[in-house]
Amino acid sequence: MLNFGSRMDAIQAPIIAVVGDLIRQTPGTISLGQGVVHYGPPAAAMDAAREALSNRDTHGYQDGAGNRALIVAIEEKLLRDNGIDRRNGLGVMVTAGGNMAFVHAILAITNPGDEVILPVPFYFNHEMAIQMVDCTAVLVATDDQYQLDLDAIRRAMTPRTRAIVTVTPNNPTGAVFPEAALRAVNELCRERGVFHISDEVYEYFTYGSTPHVSPGAFAGAQDHTISLFSLSKAYGFAGWRIGYMVYPERLNDAIAKVQDTVLVCPPVISQIAAVAAMAVGPAYCRQHLAAFADVRDIVMAELRALEPLCTVPPADGAFYCFLRVNAEADPMRTTERLIREHGVAVVPGHAFGVTRGCYFRVAYGALQKATVAEGIGRLVMGLRAILES
Ligand SMILES: Cc1ncc(COP(=O)(O)O)c(C=O)c1O
């Protein structure tokens, strides 16, 4: 009899698949679950991909770090949008999405038993990746607005700490971290000789007065900052699997080893499409931002009507908010009831590391305004019915 146990047994099951199964069992459910946008790639990207199909070179392996044309487009974008100059001793690697870039980073900078600090609520795939490589995710609470608590982060550091992770704009909370907080984290990392891993896959999605800031642009940050980006959200590219990472050049060998083993080279056709998408530029997603902001206003206003039963802290970025229920309720059981009895799906907070209390992530990027309004209506009615019964 083979022993099927493995390191994966200790890792949480991907929550989106669990919620997805429940949704499939309840036709007509409106999903405020998955964090995707409602639009696809720019037409120019699809045209470029179509044209590239007849080029035999696209059928073979190409450069491991990414094709020259895409790397150049990324370098220009980093300078223009992020203030990051690759010539300051930085490496750039194209990956199959931002998730892979995170795994590359963790594999490149840790030994088994090392610790990585994750502010909570965290993005679940970050915790999963850290645990898969036999490291420990050290969970540090944020404040009641889901903002970083620098003292708590400082207290959580030990000689085994290898990195602090920040995600801004944030999944799952929609919080945007101000420059001062990011500078403080980046400076702490520099002082203690650990890496700052900055996940910026929602970089263009901000609606309030706090702009997005890239820690990799801070003076003196280049030696210890790893910045992660993705085309999945900005360019509707989730299925094309293109992300990229920027890192201190001394990690080149380690990251190249991971890339060669896991991916060999990024998908060639997707890279050609990505070059065309990046030529269209961030104006492509910015044209949708006003509509996202409108939807966000509806979501926040409707959910705030649930106070004092629930609280919704500010959510000025990405396309999420993270609802706190001020009553006794089991998050998974409530999620199931919302789907089965009220036809609306959200993701329970425990998937994001919040194990005390009842929280839900509400995602509003995948749907048009009318559908989101209907979904939020169902959520509000459903929560009232379940929590007040
Ligand atoms: C914070 C964060 N990082 C990374 C990703 C992964 O994106 P992808 O692998 O599609 O680039 C996501 C996707 O939802 C995310 O929310």
Alpha helix (H) residue ranges in the chain? 15-25, 43-52, 68-77, 98-109, 124-132, 150-156, 179-192, 252-262, 268-280, 283-304, 331-342, 369-387
Interior/surface letters 25-58, b for 16+ CB within 10 angstroms, e for the rest: ebeebbbbbebbbbeebbeebeebbeebeeeeee
| Listed range (88-92, 342-346, 368-372) with the worst mean pLDDT | 368-372
Q: What is the mean pLDDT of residues 60-81?
A: 97
Which atom belonging to ligand 1 lies closest to the Cα atom of 231?
A: 11
String of DSSP letters for 36-73: --S----HHHHHHHHHHTT-GGGGS---TT--HHHHHH
Which residue is it, tokens 């199959």?
Answer: 96
pTM: 0.96
Question: How distant, in Å, are the alpha carbons of 12, 32, 277 from that of 240?
Answer: 26, 22, 12
123 lines ligand 1 (CB under 6 A): yes
42 lines ligand 1 (CB under 6 A): no
232 lines ligand 1 (CB under 6 A): yes
Question: How many Cα atoms occupy the beta-carbon half-sphere of 114 within 13 Å?
Answer: 18
243 lines ligand 1 (CB under 6 A): yes
* CA nearest to 336, candidates 304, 388, 382: 382
Q: What is the mean pLDDT of residues 183-207?
A: 98
**Which tokens in the block code for residue 303?**
């959910």
CA–centroid distance, residue 200 to ligand 1 (Å): 9
Residue 12 has pLDDT above 90, yes or no: no
173 lines ligand 1 (CB under 6 A): no
Higher pLDDT, 12 or 378: 378
Question: To the nearest 5 percent, what fractions of the chain are helix, strand and coil?
Answer: 45, 15, 40
Q: What is the mean pLDDT of residues 44-63?
A: 95
- Mean pLDDT over all residues of the chain? 95
Question: Would you state the pLDDT for residue 369?
Answer: 84
What amino acid occupies position 192? R
CA–centroid distance, residue 199 to ligand 1 (Å): 8
Residue 298 has pLDDT above 80, yes or no: yes
Distance from C-alpha of 176 to C-alpha of 316, rounded to nearest angstrom = 6
Question: Would you state the pLDDT for residue 112?
Answer: 97
Three-class SS of residue 21? helix
Q: Residue 334 contacts by C-beta under 8 Å, 6 or more apart in sequence?
A: 325, 348, 358, 360, 383, 386, 387
Residue 1 has pLDDT above 80, yes or no: no
Distance from C-alpha of 222 to C-alpha of 323, rounded to nearest angstrom = 36
Beta bridge partners of 321: 362
Three-class SS of residue 333? helix
Tell me how many degrees the CA angle 21-25-26 measures, rounded to the nearest 5: 120
**Which tokens in the block code for residue 188?**
């702490």
Distance from C-alpha of 139 to C-alpha of 137, rounded to nearest angstrom = 6
Question: Would you state the pLDDT for residue 324?
Answer: 96
Give nearest CA residue, ligand 1 atom 14: 35
Tens of pLDDT along 267-289?
Answer: 999 999 999 999 999 999 999 99
**Chain centroid to CA 126: how far?**
9
Which residue is it, tokens 């896991």?
Answer: 262
Which atom belonging to ligand 1 lies closest to the Cα atom of 100?
A: 9
238 lines ligand 1 (CB under 6 A): yes
Question: Would you state the pLDDT for residue 388?
Answer: 85
Element containing residue 162 per DSSP (H, E)? strand 161-167
Residue 169 has pLDDT above 90, yes or no: yes
Element containing residue 203 per DSSP (H, E)? none
**Which tokens in the block code for residue 184?**
């403080």
Peptide bond preceding 121: is omega within 30 degrees of 0, i.e. cis?
yes
201 lines ligand 1 (CB under 6 A): yes
